[in-house]
Amino acid sequence: MAQHTRPPVVAILGHVDHGKTSLLDYIRQAHVAAGEAGGITQHIGAYQAEYNGQPITFIDTPGHAAFSEMRSRGAAATDIAILVVAADDGVKPQTIESIKYIRNAGVPMIVAINKIDLPDASPETVKAQLTEQEIYVTGYGGDTEVVEISAKEGLGIDNLLETILTLGEILELQADPDAPFKGVVIESSRDKFRGSLATVLVKQGTLHGRDPLYTDAVDGSVRTMEDATGTKFEAVGPSQAVEITGFNEVPAVGSIVTVEPQEAVQKDMGPATLDLSQFLESDEQKLRVIVKADVAGSLEAVLGSLPDKNLEVVADGIGDISESDIQLAETSGARIIGFNVKASGSMKKLAQRLGVKVATYRIIYELIEEVEKAISRMLAPDQLEEVTGEAQVLKIFEMRGEVILGCKIVSGIMRKNDLVRLKREDTAVYEGKITSIKQGKTDLDSIEEDQECGIVVATKSSEAPAEGDLLVAYKIISE
């Protein structure tokens, strides 16, 4: 047995909207070879890029909590963390949160200052702000590498990849491809056609087709292995990540995978039937929720980020919102929150008929904010909402970077600075505030029923409005 140099494994973290996804997208497009499978074809939570003939493995984590969760289980999945900070926005709360995760993980950091192409970009301000968080980059009294980039324009990306490879050399990353196989689950889900799926990152040894698979709670044998380009493999070695079919159940994110049996960990799976009295007889005020997510990594990220107080997770699971979820929500007095999942039209009608609240999200921070708001409203019952107006979205326009909703007021009155909620088939898509109302070239302070206008809403949501959405204006009142 002999140690060999292996590719670095990299995770990208940072504040929402600072360009993490744009950076990953650019690297995918420019540095992932488009072979017979045509480049990236599926999301498996990881992929390999190549720079100057040297591979780099990127883990596309669903959120900071999942990154931390893998570490807390002893699964040292990543070697290097990239902290992305926007040059025009600077250090933000989630930047600080990312720094804490990286420090707790004990992973070397590279700072990528993004959006340097913008006119108000100020990389030097970002570097100064980082010193307040005790992150001292090169040139500012420290040795943390910093690279200025534009993920949108592709500026500095080659320099960033070169820096990753250089740091990888300094870290002397090695593994033995002939050692007993050991891997870590970085994403898992269930597919109705292919069964249990798990993306496994190889840490040591080599995994072959038809090899047995063992975790502390789940086992099986390799049926198929393929990467993010859809390329199938008969054998994979250190730092490679592949989606595997063949587990008899969905393994937990962070699980260690071997080809030899592991000592089983006894897990408390709870009673065979749910005792609803624990919810119905409790005097403590708690918001009860059922959490659904697309994959196990996302689910753990959501569960790990939810508030600890005044919240009860009645149940959680992977996959789209089902009839059993809605029935359980009705019985237990819970609401359903989904991350990267859908509720079919029939499920939405059932939820509406049973009086069950269902909300789905694509950004984890929006989900957490909405849960926190719901808890606040629950604890302050004297705060009620009064609907003051409703408008149907007829057309979507974009002008000078602003999204304008062409609307017809169907009831009440809409005013500038009103709080509004955009609803789609009875599901809240996002919340915000009206910043302007226009009728032709005329700016209005308010507009009444049966009139048409253009409305601009300020919101943090990434969800795009659509024709047919309902814009609901409301105000907070006291009993």
Q: Where are the beta strands (DSSP E) in 356-418?
A: 358-361, 383-399, 402-415
Task: Label the pairing between strands 402-415 and 419-424.
Answer: unpaired
Query: Cβ atoms within 10 A of the Cβ of 324, count?
Result: 11
What's the rounded Cα separation, in Å, for the pair 129 and 434? 32
What's the rounded Cα separation, in Å, for the pair 104 and 81? 12
Q: What is the pLDDT of residue 33?
A: 57
| Element at 438 (helix H, strand E) | strand 427-439
CATH of 4-174, one of 3.40.250.10, 3.40.50.300, 1.10.3720.10, 3.40.50.1700: 3.40.50.300
Which residue is associated with the tokens 């049926």? Answer: 223
| Element at 378 (helix H, strand E) | helix 364-379
Q: Per-domain residue ranges for the chain?
A: 4-174, 182-258, 283-379, 383-478
CB-facing half-sphere around the CA of 129: CA atoms within 13 A: 19
Q: Where are the beta strands (DSSP E) in 241-307?
A: 241-247, 256-258, 287-293
Q: Mind spelling out the 3-state secondary structure of 303-339? A: HHHCCCCCEEEEEEEECCCCHHHHHHHHHHCCEEEEE
Here the tokens at position 129 are: 């702000």
- Report which residue type is found at 229: T
Task: Label the pairing between strands 145-148 and 109-114.
Answer: parallel
What's the CATH code, domain 283-379? 3.40.50.10050
DSSP annotation of 130 reads: H
pLDDT one digit per residue (tens) for the chain, 479 residues: 688 999 999 988 888 789 888 898 899 887 775 443 345 656 788 889 999 999 999 987 555 445 555 544 434 578 999 999 999 999 988 788 788 778 877 789 999 999 999 999 999 999 999 999 999 999 888 899 999 999 999 999 999 999 999 999 999 999 999 999 999 988 888 888 899 999 999 999 999 999 999 998 899 999 999 998 889 999 999 999 999 999 998 887 778 999 999 864 333 333 323 333 333 334 457 899 999 998 888 888 888 889 888 899 988 888 888 887 888 888 778 999 999 898 888 888 888 888 888 999 888 888 888 898 888 877 765 556 788 999 999 999 888 777 899 999 999 999 998 989 888 876 777 788 898 999 988 989 999 999 999 999 887 666 788 899 999 999 877 55
Q: What is the pLDDT of residue 28?
A: 85
Q: What is the pLDDT of residue 407?
A: 94
CATH of 182-258, one of 2.40.30.10, 3.30.420.40, 2.40.320.10, 3.30.530.20: 2.40.30.10
CB-facing half-sphere around the CA of 395: CA atoms within 13 A: 6
What's the rounded Cα separation, in Å, for the pair 101 and 83? 11
Please answer whether residues 423 and 444 qualify as being in contact, where contact means their C-beta atoms are separated by less than 8 angstroms. Answer: no
What's the rounded Cα separation, in Å, for the pair 254 and 185? 5
Q: What is the pLDDT of residue 322?
A: 86
Q: Where are the beta strands (DSSP E) in 23-177?
A: 46-51, 54-59, 80-86, 109-114, 145-148, 174-175
Distances (CA, A) of 290 to 122, 189, 192, 322: 43, 18, 21, 11
Residue in 189, 260, 197 with CA at minimum distance from that of residue 225: 197
Q: Residue 413's beta-bridge partner residues?
A: 448
Same CATH fold assignment for domains 182-258 and 383-478: yes
Q: What is the pLDDT of residue 39?
A: 55
Q: What is the pLDDT of residue 68?
A: 53
What's the CATH code, domain 383-478? 2.40.30.10
DSSP annotation of 91 reads: S
Residue in 55, 62, 97 with CA at minimum distance from that of residue 79: 55
